[in-house]
């Protein structure tokens, strides 16, 4: 490990411990300060009584005037520290985790080097984000008393459900070396179609769901065909469909929202015995299926190969076009499922639904350690990425941060995640 | 005549390899100096040192009698040394003049480019060279020969004193070569010294004044071209005797497994026909740019072919993409291990089974247990040194990477396997292991085609040798002991065309 990086970690550790110590000290002096303040208040009160008696010309009774005490500079400091105690705890814990984690990782890496054994898999990356997730939860638990309540957990769960499903599909796309910007629009249009079919044409709920998820899959197929058969860059192709589909969403209802769906439909997001049973099962099914496809099916393996080295994949007899179409269809289908979850929960569909959804999904996948250049990544990583994104959003809400800064934070996190990806890539290349 | 540029005792080490071993090169003012040697002799390394791409470990460079240090491309440029690489270094979307003055545009003042002066100057240079190119044209609209002339004009514009030409005629037609040679003669008359690297010895005889010959990273000799002949040059280039580093086995060849008839593909493959029998190794020799790899890629369906038929075991097969070739029973170990042979971010196991996943359970449920046992079996069989089958391919050494690629095609039960430079960039021990794997294959009745630029390897391992030159096969020979490197080189540089 480079020396200055090590120094930074040590500094983090030291500052973190120092902050913690100061905080502990301040906490322990809280009683003393309170005593001093109480004495001051009592003296003030007594003096006021004497003064009042003076004015009224009454002989003050035996008013006992406490001794005069002054708050020392130290006491003032303690008061100040206690005022921001929570924030200090958050900072201290983060710094200690960063410092200790960094140093431990460096030591492990150093040992490995001398042992001559190189990195085996991407398990290190997942480990890193798990630590980040734990630190995040600790921070929020300290910073907000509401965070650890069950109602908040349900809240977080509902918040992330859409991104959860979309990010699973996005994982396929990004592993294959592509990107899908059209997910948000796809959700919006699919949700509106559900509304139109059920409200205007009285199509049965189940049929509606199947048709609309299939429709989302077709939007994905169009993406895949543009990319594989016409060789469009994924970014451009899906940027185009993003705008086309969003436009279509505005057009189908002339910009109007659709309200109040049949009971059978909203029941999907309803609660059974206090928990959102059906949506939980759907999410679980989606991620398990995604994990299974990536690990156990041929096309899942091909997805990695195509993203990792297209010419090698072709030379190994893989049909690139089929694989590319497949991943975008998967992403599309996931959008359909997300539309189902979103519309049933809101009991409405609006053309502006899921605006900017692609950002959250890409962020979750990238934070989960999936490389933007393709060929690397895992469903477990994505799961943790989704949780991190969701919990950060929840935390910012709990702390009363406005929407504007929230977006800025989200963007910042993506940038940082990609920077880490790039650094890791460079490191692994130079170690070759 | 005084020496203008001298490189003395140049040593360059790469990890595990001594690429240059005290090499000398001296070039006089206004001469065309040929730098000759087989592939891997160290010519490119030497030129990269001169152009500042590599730094030497030992030795000194004298320029016009003074000792100079070349540590970077800027240093070389300051000495007016320029290189025209085989892969031209132009920006396609810009105009000819912009390319000529790339990075040093003529300026009116600090902020404004003096376009008029730049285009006038560029046109003047081009006219001087006698090329029919307009300075306003976009480079992408030019043919290869004209692009090369733009490079020459660029070299002229920076007043080059030493010009390195790396295989300049490889992409050119005969008429274009004549134009290039006229230009070279003109530059020579102006006193520009040129270092000319080419595999086409007949051209060397025609255009060069002196020649330096290298072999295995060592300086062999320097001579006046007028005082020598083709045979002598070839003898110096080949030099050593073949040693027993090839575990050749001789089998009775079986029936014909692959027949290729009259394949045309692009400019590089002009009517190649060949056949390979089970149990034999057909070596394909030829110089860089002879169209060997392109032929293999066309057979395998990696690049489209314009015409030609392919037969496997007597049956005609349609091959439009690699998938068709694999189904027909052809395997292809490419020369570009990292670029095409492996998916670097994937583990060994997944790389090995990539072409044969259809044999591992069904499409919706691969049998990972079976995969694991197969992969472990091949890791042992091929002696791949790795702590685990989950090791990422990018973390393996060259030799082990190559073994993983070999394993991929061994698993595929191919009838024909084409090896393109199977031992490039791997150490001697691993080379012998690769040869033994190839031997196992022919024992099983597979037909092996081995493309190699190392003539000792071709002679050491092949049963028959086909020699290619400019996209055609100039000769097919039985490797019965009478075939020599000289003979192969003779055919690889044009064969019977020499006498024409």
Nearest to B365 among A118, A296, A375 (CB): A296
Contact B467, B491 (CB under 8 A): yes
Q: Which of B302, B343, B359 to mutate to test the interface with A (most CBs of A within 10 A)?
A: B343
Q: Does A316 touch chain B (CB under 8 A)?
A: yes
Greatest CA separation found in chain B?
Answer: 77
- B228 pLDDT exceeds 80? yes
Q: Which of B342, B346, B358, B406 to mutate to test the interface with A (most CBs of A within 10 A)?
A: B346
Q: Does A371 touch chain B (CB under 8 A)?
A: yes
Contact B303, B297 (CB under 8 A): yes
Provide mean pLDDT across the span B95-117.
87
Domain range annotation of chain A: 3-115, 154-430
Check residue A302 and give its pLDDT.
94
Check residue A361 and give its pLDDT.
92
Contact criterion met (CB < 8 Å) for A117 and B340:
no
Which residues neighbour A327 within 8 Å (Cβ) at sequence distance 6 or greater?
A: A172, A173, A175, A176, A178, A224, A303
Structure tokens, B380 = 């042992």
Query: Which chain B positions have a beta carbon within 8 Å of A305's beta carbon?
Result: 343, 346, 350, 354
d(Cα A92, Cα A98) in Å, to the nearest integer? 10
Domains of chain B by range and CATH?
A: 3-238 (3.40.50.300), 256-498 (3.40.50.300)
d(Cα A372, Cα A354) in Å, to the nearest integer? 23
ipTM higher than the 0.85 cut: no
- B241 pLDDT exceeds 70? no
Q: Does B326 touch chain A (CB under 8 A)?
A: yes
Sheet of B464-469: strand order equals B330-333, B416-420, B447-451, B281-286, B464-469, B472-478
Contact criterion met (CB < 8 Å) for B302 and A314:
yes
Which residues neighbour B32 within 8 Å (Cβ) at sequence distance 6 or greater?
A: B184, B188, B194, B196, B207, B208, B209
Min CA distance, A306 vs chain B (Å)? 9
Check residue B34 and give its pLDDT.
93
The distance of Cα A204 from the centroid of its chain, to the nearest Å, equals: 35
Q: Does B321 touch chain A (CB under 8 A)?
A: yes
Check residue A75 and give its pLDDT.
80
Contact B253, B463 (CB under 8 A): yes
Provide mean pLDDT across the span B421-447.
82
Contact A340, A205 (CB under 8 A): no
Contact A351, A340 (CB under 8 A): no
Check residue A217 and give its pLDDT.
96
Min CA distance, A333 vs chain B (Å)? 18
Contact criterion met (CB < 8 Å) for A119 and B341:
no
What band does B387 get if pLDDT is binned at 50, 70 and 90? confident
- How many Cβ pairs within 8 Å bridge chains A and B? 97
d(Cα A71, Cα A34) in Å, to the nearest integer? 10
Nearest to B364 among A297, A302, A432 (CB): A297
Q: At B494, which helix (H) or strand (E)? A: none
- B424 pLDDT exceeds 60? yes
Contact A395, A387 (CB under 8 A): no
Query: Which chain A positions have a beta carbon within 8 Å of B364's beta carbon?
Result: 296-298
Q: Does A201 touch chain B (CB under 8 A)?
A: no
Contact criterion met (CB < 8 Å) for B366 and A301:
yes
Which residues neighbour A11 within 8 Å (Cβ) at sequence distance 6 or greater?
A: A99
Contact criterion met (CB < 8 Å) for B340 and A305:
no
Min CA distance, B105 vs chain A (Å)? 33
Check residue A61 and give its pLDDT.
67
Contact B311, B415 (CB under 8 A): no
What band does B466 get if pLDDT is binned at 50, 70 and 90? very high
Nearest to A308 among B344, B363, B391 (CB): B344
Check residue B7 and give its pLDDT.
92
Query: Which chain A positions have a beta carbon within 8 Å of B346's beta carbon?
Result: 304-305, 308, 375
Check residue B91 and give its pLDDT.
86
Query: Which chain B positions have a beta carbon within 8 Å of A302's beta carbon?
Result: 357
Provide mean pLDDT across the span B216-222.
87
Structure tokens, A86 = 């929570």
Q: Does A298 touch chain B (CB under 8 A)?
A: yes
Query: Which chain B positions have a beta carbon within 8 Å of A176's beta carbon?
Result: none
What is the value of pTM for the model shown? Answer: 0.73
Min CA distance, B235 vs chain A (Å)? 39
Q: What is the architecture, at CATH level 2, of domain A154-430?
A: Orthogonal Bundle (1.10)
Structure tokens, A288 = 């398990």
Query: Which chain B positions have a beta carbon within 8 Å of A427's beta carbon?
Result: none
Nearest to A301 among B341, B350, B390 (CB): B350
d(Cα B158, Cα B122) in Å, to the nearest integer? 12
Burial class (CB in 10 A: 0-12, 13-18, 19+), B11: middle
Alpha helix segments (H runs only) across A176-276 = 183-195, 205-228, 234-252, 263-266
Minimum Cα–Cα distance from A376: chain B residue:
B345
Minimum Cα–Cα distance from A299: chain B residue:
B363
Minimum Cα–Cα distance from A304: chain B residue:
B346
Q: What is the mean pLDDT of chain B?
A: 85
Contact criterion met (CB < 8 Å) for B355 and A371:
no
d(Cα A244, Cα A221) in Å, to the nearest integer? 15
Phi, psi (5° rounding) for residue B401?
-60, -45
Pairing label, strands B416-420, B447-451: parallel
DSSP string for residues in A232-249: --HHHHHHHHHHHHHHHH
Identify which of B494, B497, B472, B86 has the alpha carbon closest to the alpha carbon of residue B268. B472
Segments of chain A with pLDDT less than 50? 112-123, 430-432
Check residue A116 and give its pLDDT.
36
Q: How many CB atoms neighbour CB A159 within 10 A?
A: 16
Query: Which chain A positions have a beta carbon within 8 Å of B323's beta carbon?
Result: 317-319
Nearest to A317 among B326, B344, B364 (CB): B326
Provide mean pLDDT across the span B183-189.
89
Q: Does B395 touch chain A (CB under 8 A)?
A: yes
Query: Which chain B positions have a beta carbon within 8 Å of A301's beta carbon?
Result: 350, 354, 357, 366
d(Cα B328, Cα B312) in Å, to the nearest integer? 7
Q: Does B490 touch chain A (CB under 8 A)?
A: no
Check residue A115 and give its pLDDT.
36
Check residue B244 and give its pLDDT.
55
Query: Which chain B positions have a beta carbon within 8 Å of A316's beta carbon?
Result: 322, 326, 354-355, 408
Q: Does A305 touch chain B (CB under 8 A)?
A: yes
Nearest to A375 among B327, B346, B365 (CB): B346
């Amino acid at each position: 490990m480079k020396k200055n990086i090590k120094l930074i970690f040590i500094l983090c550790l030291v500052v973190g411990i120092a902050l913690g110590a100061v905080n502990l000290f301040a906490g322990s002096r809280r009683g003393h300060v309170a005593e001093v303040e109480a004495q001051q208040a009592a003296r003030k009160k007594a003096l006021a009584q004497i003064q009042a008696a003076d004015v009224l010309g009454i002989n003050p009774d035996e008013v006992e005037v406490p001794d005069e005490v002054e708050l020392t500079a130290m006491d003032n400091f303690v008061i100040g520290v206690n005022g921001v105690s929570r924030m200090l705890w958050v900072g201290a814990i983060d710094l200690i985790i960063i410092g200790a984690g960094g140093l431990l990782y460096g030591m492990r890496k150093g040992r490995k080097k001398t042992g001559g054994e190189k990195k085996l898999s991407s398990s290190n990356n997942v480990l890193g984000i798990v630590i980040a997730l734990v630190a995040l939860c600790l921070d929020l638990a300290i910073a907000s008393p509401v965070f650890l309540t069950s109602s908040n957990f349900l809240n977080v769960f509902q918040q992330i459900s859409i991104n959860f499903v979309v990010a699973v599909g996005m994982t396929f796309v990004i592993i294959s070396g592509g990107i899908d910007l059209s997910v948000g629009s796809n959700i919006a249009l699919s949700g509106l179609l559900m509304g139109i079919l059920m409200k205007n044409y009285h199509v049965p709920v189940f049929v509606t769901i199947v048709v609309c998820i299939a429709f989302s899959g077709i939007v994905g197929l169009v993406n895949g065909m543009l990319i594989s058969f016409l060789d469009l860059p994924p970014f451009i192709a899906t940027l185009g469909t993003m705008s086309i589909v969003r436009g279509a969403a505005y057009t189908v209802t002339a910009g109007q929202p659709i309200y109040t769906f049949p009971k059978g439909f909203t029941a999907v997001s309803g609660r059974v015995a206090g928990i959102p049973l059906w949506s939980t099962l759907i999410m679980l099914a989606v991620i398990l299926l995604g994990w299974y496809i990536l690990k156990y099916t041929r096309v899942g393996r091909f997805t990695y190969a195509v993203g990792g080295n297209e010419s090698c994949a072709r030379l190994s007899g893989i049909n690139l076009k089929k694989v590319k179409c497949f991943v975008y269809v998967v992403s599309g289908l996931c959008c359909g499922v997300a539309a189902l979850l979103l519309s049933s929960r809101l009991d409405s569909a609006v053309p502006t639904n899921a605006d900017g959804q692609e950002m959250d999904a890409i962020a979750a996948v990238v934070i989960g350690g999936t490389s933007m250049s393709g060929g690397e990544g895992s469903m477990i990583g994505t799961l943790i990425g989704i949780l991190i994104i969701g919990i950060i959003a929840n935390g910012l809400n709990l702390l009363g941060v406005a929407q504007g800064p929230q977006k800025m934070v989200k963007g910042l996190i993506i940038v940082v995640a990609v920077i880490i990806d790039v650094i890791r890539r460079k490191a692994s290349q130079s170690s070759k | 005549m005084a020496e203008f540029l001298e490189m003395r005792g140049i040593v360059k080490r790469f990890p595990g390899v001594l690429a240059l071993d005290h090499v000398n090169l001296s070039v006089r003012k206004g001469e065309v100096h040929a730098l000759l040697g087989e592939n891997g002799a160290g010519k490119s390394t030497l030129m990269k040192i001169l152009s500042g791409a590599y730094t030497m470990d030992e030795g000194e460079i004298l320029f016009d009698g003074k000792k100079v240090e070349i540590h970077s491309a800027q240093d070389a440029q300051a000495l007016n040394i320029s290189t025209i690489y085989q892969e031209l270094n132009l920006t396609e979307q810009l105009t000819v003049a912009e390319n000529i003055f790339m990075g040093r545009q003529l300026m009116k003042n600090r902020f404004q480019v003096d376009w008029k002066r730049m285009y006038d100057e560029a046109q003047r240079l081009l006219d001087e060279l006698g090329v029919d190119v307009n300075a306003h044209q976009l480079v992408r609209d030019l043919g290869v020969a004209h692009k090369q002339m733009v490079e020459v004009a660029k070299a002229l514009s920076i007043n080059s004193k030493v010009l390195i030409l790396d295989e300049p005629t490889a992409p050119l037609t005969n008429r274009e070569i004549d134009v290039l040679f006229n230009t070279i003669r003109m530059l020579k008359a102006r006193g520009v010294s040129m270092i000319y690297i080419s595999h086409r010895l007949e051209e060397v005889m025609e255009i060069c004044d002196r020649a330096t010959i290298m072999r295995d990273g060592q300086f062999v000799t320097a001579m006046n071209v007028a005082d020598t002949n083709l045979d002598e040059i070839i003898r110096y280039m080949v030099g050593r005797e073949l040693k027993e580093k090839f575990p050749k086995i001789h089998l009775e060849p079986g029936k014909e497994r692959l027949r290729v008839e009259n394949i045309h593909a692009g400019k590089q493959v002009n009517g190649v026909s060949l056949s390979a029998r089970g149990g034999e190794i057909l070596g394909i020799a030829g110089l860089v740019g002879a169209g060997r790899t392109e032929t293999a890629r066309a057979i395998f369906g990696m690049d489209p072919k314009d015409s030609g038929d392919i037969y496997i075991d007597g049956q005609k097969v349609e091959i439009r993409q690699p998938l068709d070739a694999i189904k027909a029973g052809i395997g292809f170990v490419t020369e570009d291990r990292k670029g095409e042979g492996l998916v670097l971010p994937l583990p060994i196991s997944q790389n090995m089974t990539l072409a044969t996943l259809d044999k591992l359970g069904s499409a919706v449920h691969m049998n990972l247990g079976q995969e694991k046992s197969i992969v472990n079996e091949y890791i042992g069989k091929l002696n791949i040194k790795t702590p685990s089958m989950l090791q990422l391919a990018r973390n393996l050494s060259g030799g082990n990477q190559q073994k993983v690629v070999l394993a991929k095609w061994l698993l595929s039960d191919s009838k024909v396997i084409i090896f393109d430079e199977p031992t490039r960039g791997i150490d001697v021990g691993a080379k012998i292991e690769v040869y033994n794997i190839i031997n196992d294959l022919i024992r099983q009745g597979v037909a092996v085609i081995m493309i190699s630029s190392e003539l000792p390897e071709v002679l050491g391992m092949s049963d028959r040798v086909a020699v290619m030159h400019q996209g055609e096969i100039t000769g097919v020979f039985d490797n019965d002991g009478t075939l020599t490197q000289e003979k192969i080189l003779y055919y690889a540089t044009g064969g019977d065309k020499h006498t024409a």
